[in-house]
A and B are shown apart, each in its own frame.
Chain A
Amino acid sequence: MTVAHRGAILSAGILLGTGLGGFVDGIVLHQILPGHTMLSSVRPPADLVAMKYNMFWDGLFHAFTWLMVSLGVARLWLAARRADVPWSTRTFVGSLIGGWGLFNVVEGIIDHQILGVHHVHPGEGELAWDIGFLVFGALQLIVGGALIHAGRHDTTPPGSIGAPQRPRAT
């Protein structure tokens, strides 16, 4: 059997990593910590109307992250049904971390730097916070990439992890 189709598990992991990482961003930075909201640099949430306005766009952001998680689960399900997909923990965990990092880098560059719709911690020193966010995402990409690279020769097909081993005939 040739086990070579890593793309299926890579894309599933990256979609899941993006979605779960987006949830961390939305829940921790947008809601729990007094950081930012989706359009807080366009419409600062200084009154109830502006807060509800931002709440709508935060909700849409969470809807997109939910969509990413759903697509990732669907891709993972399809990957599990193929015999040519290497069921590698290192590849999967690496793509999860890499997906989160990819999202942080892409979102940091587009939303924070290019469009400027919000910043990680608006106000004094916001550039340092934004750069720190990008560095964190880049580190995640490096760690995820290293794990994916380490698992490049893994060949365990789906369904064989944890399967009972037959005793060898002597």
Chain B
Amino acid sequence: MPKDQVEILLVEDDVEDLDLTMRALADAHIANRIQIARDGEEALDFLFRRGLHSERAPNCPPRLILLDLKLPKVDGLEVLTQIKNDPSTRAIPVVILTSSRQEQDMVQGYHLGANSYIQKPVDFEQFQSTIRQLGYYWLLVNQQPPERAFD
């Protein structure tokens, strides 16, 4: 793993949600290198090294993407579509982390290749526990894809 590899790409537009998620991640002590994208376009720029991120080193995908669905500019499902349609990003695990419990969002998310779908609970304790389990599973338990998976 390169030293500057981003562990989590957190795509979240809501500032409070972002703050609470960052706090929950910090409480869980599971991630130090977190890249934040505040809308879909920024997320795609980061992943495909465009715009502000055009200088970013290639072959260095994040290990996990936490993706909100309701996003400005490019929405979450469109971001997911592009991630899963591109061979260089397809192998990155994507966890949809959203307020929405709409069945259609879940169905579409899974159809498009989301690896997990989690509704943010209202109860902060539950949220903390969810984030802890999530980080633990995807970053520690789960075998990350080998490099060839990103060719």
Our verdict on whether A and B bind, yes or no, reads no
- A residues contacting B by CB (< 8 A) are none
- B residues contacting A by CB (< 8 A) are none
